[in-house]
Amino acid sequence: MTSALTLRLPEETHQRLKALSKERGVSINALVNEAAVKLVMEQDALSFYRQCVDYAQGREQRALELLAKATGSSAE
């Protein structure tokens, strides 16, 4: 499913997108869609990273113990 979106851009940006789309052999819509997908994926990755950091807070010693167990060395 897709949805329509009206996008207002400065004329210079529109012209540059038009030239880039011609150079790549794709539509302006495809370029904007690619940029939007990359932005959303970047945000998802950042959110996931933040959740991992939040989860790991205060668990450093346990992580070292598990690493030591996995590698057969001693935890510090």
pLDDT for position 74: 67
Buried b (16+ CB within 10 A) or exposed e, 1-13: eeeeeeeeeeeee
Is 47:58 a contact under the CB 8 Å cutoff? no
Which tens digit of pLDDT belongs to each residue from 14-30?
999 999 999 999 999 99
Q: Per-residue confidence at 40, pLDDT binned at 50, 70, 90?
A: very high
**If 0-12 CB within 10 Å is exposed, 13-18 middle and 19+ buried, where does residue 23 land?**
exposed
Which tens digit of pLDDT belongs to each residue from 54-76?
887 878 888 888 888 899 876 55
pTM for the model: 0.64
With a CB cutoff of 8 Å and minimum separation 6, the contacts of 65 are: 75
CA distance 7 to 31: 13
Percent of the chain with pLDDT over 90: 62
